[in-house]
């Protein structure tokens, strides 16, 4: 599934290309032919993203893709759903979302309240779109590595300052992704140029620490990067840089 920065970048591109113009809408594979016929020739007001949702407003109607493209012109892979909806349904979808690091009005304290009360792993909570909207598998793996947090650590064991620092870093990384269209998470001292290593070759982004690098040496400590399934998705971490959390509480 595309991560939040991809949707925001695409929304801006769609608005710039088609905002204020009538558009032709079709369904090349026939799956959405009926809905396409309803809005074919409509005026495109603009596009907006919210977490992993892309909304395209067409002359009073709202066409939405939940991690989807929704138009023949959108180069967005990993689509899972495409619906023609109205404003009321759009509002319902947005109301169900957690805080989006890419929105200027996001409230990290609201996300923190959910996380601080939960015994679920932080690696699970970060991917829960009702807690933090827009974060996918790449950003989850990378932000936890950058802050030396094991993905299985219970959310309620994090400190507030620890989470807020993580959030600020996540905002910066995702905003960089919007500007460049890439996910680059390594610090300057760990770049290919600084380390004298080959650049990463992968369709899913730029330079990363642990995502899809299982079995390879950690760029920081040299230990082998590990992977395991967490709530149906592969999780990646370095056991030395991200040690298992041990509670200091005395029973």
Do 74 and 64 contact (CB within 8 A), yes or no? no
Known catalytic residue at 233: yes
> DSSP state, 161?
H
Contacts of 123 (CB under 8 A, 6+ apart): 140, 144, 151, 152, 153, 230, 231, 235
- Token digits for 31? 């799956």
- Token digits for 44? 């495109």
Helix (H) or strand (E) holding 237: strand 233-238
Helix (H) or strand (E) holding 66: strand 61-66
- In our burial notation (b when 16+ CB lie closer than 10 A, e otherwise), range 211-235 reads bbbeeeebbbeeeebbbeebeeeeb
Q: Indicate which residue of 9, 52, 146, 213 is catalytic.
A: 52
Known catalytic residue at 52: yes
**Partners of 64 in the beta sheet?**
55, 83
Helix (H) or strand (E) holding 84: strand 82-85
Q: Indicate which residue of 120, 200, 226, 233 is catalytic.
A: 233
Known catalytic residue at 21: no
> DSSP state, 244?
P
Known catalytic residue at 2: yes
Enumerate the active-site residues. Answer: 2-3, 52, 233
């Amino acid at each position: 599934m595309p991560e939040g920065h991809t949707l925001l970048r695409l929304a801006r591109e769609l608005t710039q290309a088609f905002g204020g113009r009538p558009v032709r809408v079709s369904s090349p594979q026939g799956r959405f032919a009926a809905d396409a016929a309803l809005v074919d020739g409509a005026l495109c007001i603009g596009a907006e993203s919210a977490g992993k949702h892309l909304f395209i407003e067409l002359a009073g109607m709202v066409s939405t893709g939940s991690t989807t493209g929704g138009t023949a012109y959108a180069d967005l892979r990993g689509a899972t759903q495409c619906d023609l909806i109205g404003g009321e349904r759009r509002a319902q979808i947005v109301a169900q979302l957690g805080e989006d690091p890419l929105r200027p009005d996001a409230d990290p304290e609201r996300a923190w309240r959910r996380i601080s009360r939960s015994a679920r792993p932080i690696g699970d909570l970060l991917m829960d779109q009702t807690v933090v909207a827009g974060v996918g598998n790449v950003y989850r793996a990378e932000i936890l590595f950058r802050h030396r947090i094991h993905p299985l650590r219970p959310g309620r064991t994090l400190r507030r300052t620890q989470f807020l620092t993580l959030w600020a870093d996540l905002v910066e990384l995702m905003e960089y992704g919007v500007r460049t269209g890439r996910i680059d998470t390594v610090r300057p001292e760990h770049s290919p140029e600084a380390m004298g290593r080959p650049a990463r070759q992968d369709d899913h982004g730029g330079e990363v620490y642990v995502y899809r690098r299982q079995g390879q040496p950690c760029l920081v400590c040299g230990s082998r990067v590990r992977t395991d399934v967490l709530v149906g998705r592969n999780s990646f971490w370095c056991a030395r840089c991200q040690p298992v959390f041990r509670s200091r509480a005395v029973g």
